[in-house]
Structure 1
């Protein structure tokens, strides 16, 4: 679009000659002094020069037409120039010192511009909002007192902004995070990475502190677990090795080189001495920290081991695999207990519920299969799940679990009877890992975006058990945002503004 010409050729007389003097003014106060004379000339009836109107507020934009070499200006060349863009910002229409000013501004706006320009020369103003000052980044809204506001909506917004954090801030790493694990006693979380390192963080609502970064494996660290007392760190890797590292000294206490014939995918701590590992080829091995070699080995499947689990009695070791089998090992007898019928989907994760009387397994098709404890040959019930692959499952209470997967959303589910409770949290990319801390109040999740986010799920303690005959809306349940979610439900926006009659009378 062609702008209306505001330039004049050399030698042409016009009553707008005084506009050229604005480009030579170095101080803002001189611009204000010239404004009265310029405006008077612009409003004169004899003026035959047309001026372009700046976009947005209808103010006149003045531009210097003089070149250093004194060459003539061709309006057609200016119009056809590819560098000229009428929609550019104000910075492209003025020099770095803000010498060109906008005409026909009100006295209040002119005073504000003078203050801003003086701050650019003398440094950031201490009374500003701190947009250009990193040390003063608090917004003016935070300085408002909600008790002084009459508008209930504004008061609610101010209260939400001032509300203290209930979860630690996000942790962002440069490398892909392969596993996360909470310490059994302290507020510490271990993050395994694809480079073979393990980062140890101390988490808190006020901020997270990197305690140490331990370089352990030469290749990707697939899984990381703490021992029951939290003194040692167990890791397994794509390089087929297993390492036990002292948490405090970072010294290697035990090293199992070439522990498997294929890359190790999962590791599970059974008790203070025993732990189990599973590789990409379907082999499961049982280890004792007091011996040098594995004390038991079994290969009943041909695909990767996705998860291993034991209950409180620790008599059985449950194993899920990528070829659709649930395999159970008798730890005391060191032999196979039972293997399920094959499923036409990958079995990814599992958890125990209802006093260890139920086992629930998540699959690559988003289904949840429930088994009666001890009867692992075939499921007793099937739940529809979330229609996308479930890669992680964490039990929160005796009947509530959190599941996550490719859609990047953490959902809460009630088990036996099954019901979607809502959304716990969100990531921008698929979720790779889930873990819950020792108090059961915090969930940590990592995604393909190399980030770890925390979610406070303490509110699940107040959830009552769901009855089989209770009616609910499945469509709304899947989209319902729980208190820990980053988003709020539209129907809950004004919930805090409702007042009881007694409060109004007070």
Structure 2
């Protein structure tokens, strides 16, 4: 279902079952919708309440446990609204030194009743207890550029993606900074935590993968198929992610463990309209409803994910390991065409020839070792010749001695 708005939207957030939607607009308006009802006159969701602030809305968040809606504005204000009536119950002016970028609700396990986290353009992260007189609890300045998204993993770590190319992790149970990742290849936009890994979307179109609770070093990089970066990541089911990009109006599906791109889930608006990119995405806690937003076209789309996911097979790691066995061929096999029978006969002939050669070599070796071999006879003849030469030399010596004696007598 595609909804046309009359003002440019800037951010959105849904609740646990996808029946409520809060949208922030560039004119400072916050609208709270019932998405189960459709107003035919305005061709929009039925509006429950709205509130007009003085500055553009930079981020919105819902807290169903406390029945609150939070919002940060361009003029650095943090506002708290009652979810049922839309009445503003608290407003903190100048909550950051720079313009705020995003915010995130925190789990009950957070130390000192931390309820909300906010981040700004300078890389500063703050946590808040909005029931206390002094609302701010903690403040960190560990990253150097704007924080694009905040989320909480299942280990109660607050994760922050920054344009400086790093992922920051903050331990909410101890209320202290934990670790900062190594420098990535590009700016980091989106982050999504699962039960096993954390996935981060970057400007270069890759999804950076980290082990859960181990954010110092990168585990893997997955190509998403988006050339203009990954602006949003949601987990549609275990092992299946939905990706969006500011350069495309399509939602892509990515299977993880094993990593495999599964194509496109659908388009936001007209498939032929390639100029509009999806700016924001939000998913219900039960993972049945997804909302996407394109600010330029002033539209919001509601996705029923059950019909889409049911048609997608579940891939296992063993499916990626199965490979076809290749036949090992000779170097010249591609130059000569021969059938299976010819190749078998040729191989048999070669084997027979090799056996004959081996038998001949064995016979020669045995002939050389025999005493009556020609080589032995030759050696005996040479020895006899040497003895004859020695006898002749001795005869000559005797004749010379006799001649000498005759001369002496004379």
Q: Normalising to structure 1: TM-score of the pair?
A: 0.57
Structure 1 residues 246-265: aligned runs within 5 Å: 246-265=82-101
**Equivalent residue for 2:305?**
457
Q: Is the 8 A contact 2:102 2:147 kept in 1?
A: yes
SS of 1:379's equivalent? Answer: coil
Higher strand share: 2
Q: Does 1:296 align with 2:162?
A: no
1:306 matched residue in structure 2? 148
- Higher mean C-alpha displacement, 401-410 vs 271-280: 271-280
Structure 2 vs 1, CA of residues 469 and 172 (structure 1 numbering), >3 Å: closer, same or farther?
same
Task: Report which of the two structures shows the higher radius of gyration computed on alpha carbons.
Answer: 2
What 5-or-longer segments of structure 2 have no aligned partner?
322-410
CA displacement, residues 435-464 of structure 1 (integer Å, 9 cap, x when unaligned): 112432221100131100112211325644
- In the other structure, the counterpart of 2:353 is none
Matches within 5 A, 1:13-412: 169-185=1-17, 187-204=19-36, 208-229=44-65, 231-271=67-107, 274-291=115-132, 292-314=134-156, 316-353=157-194, 356-388=195-227, 389-405=229-245, 406-412=247-253
Q: Post-superposition shift, 1:215? A: 2.5
- The structure, 1 or 2, with the larger RCO (C-alpha pairs under 8 Å, 6+ apart) is 2
Structure 1 window deviating more from structure 2 (298-307 vs 287-296): it is 287-296
Bigger drift between 272-281 and 316-325 goes to: 272-281
| Offset, 1:213 | 4.6
Change (3 A) 1:446 1:212: same
> CA–CA distance in 2 between the matches of 1:185 and 1:442?
7
Residue 259 of structure 2 is aligned with which of 387, 396, 418?
418
Deviation at 1:217, TM superposition (A): 2.6
Deviation, structure 1 residue 232: 1.1
Compute the displacement of 1:281 (Å): 0.8
- Equivalents in 1 of 2:297, 2:235: separation in Å? 24
Residues of 1 paired with 2:263 and 2:207: CA distance? 16
SS of alignment partner, residue 204 of structure 1 = strand
Kindly indicate whether the alpha-carbon contact (under 8 Å) linking 1:199 and 1:210 is maintained by their aligned counterparts in 2.
no
1:253-305 Cα distance to aligned partner (Å, 9 max, x none): 11111100111110000136511000011100011122233110001112110
Q: How far is 1:313 from its partner?
A: 3.9
Structure 1 gap segments, 5+ residues each: 1-168, 473-506
Aligned length: 301
Q: TM-score, normalised by structure 2?
A: 0.69
Displacement after TM superposition at 1:209 (Å): 3.5
CA RMSD in angstroms comes to 2.0
* CA deviation after TM superposition for structure 1 residue 308, in Å: 1.1
